[in-house]
Amino acid sequence: MIKVLFFGRLRELLNCSEIQIDDFELGSVANLRVLLAKKGPKWAEFIEGNNALVAVNQDMVDESSQIKTGDEVAFFPPVTGG
């Protein structure tokens, strides 16, 4: 099981702040994107747009990073703090 969180504009676009994926087989961030894209047109749009940054366990990572059971993955738009 992994937990996937969404923030900012992305959370609103998907109308979703958090999902759990029970059957995610071990794979990379890129694999997870492919899986999420299948959930509908808006999901595909954010995956294909490739505008979402990714953090695994609260650290920014790249597409090749491996995700393991129990991880917390977060997708979010470019940050605008400060």
Partner 1 sequence: MINVQEADFDLNKQYTMLRAKDNTDGAIVTFIGLVRDFNQGHDVTGLFLEHYPAMTQKSLEKISDRAKKRFNVNQLDIIHRVGQLNLGDQIVYVGVSSPHREEAFSCAQFVMDFLKKEAPFWKKETRKQHNKDVWVETNQKDKEALKKWQ
C-beta of 7 vs 43, nearer to partner 1: 7
For the CA atoms of the chain, what is the radius of gyration?
12
Q: The tokens of 35 are what? A: 């899986």
- Which residues in the 35-74 window bind partner 1 by CB under 8 A? 55, 58-60, 72, 74
- Looking up tokens 């954010």, which residue turns up? 46
C-beta of 3 vs 34, nearer to partner 1: 3
C-beta of 34 vs 60, nearer to partner 1: 60
Residue 2 interacts with partner 1 (CB under 8 A): yes or no = no
Count the alpha carbons within 13 Å of 65 in the hemisphere toward its beta carbon.
18
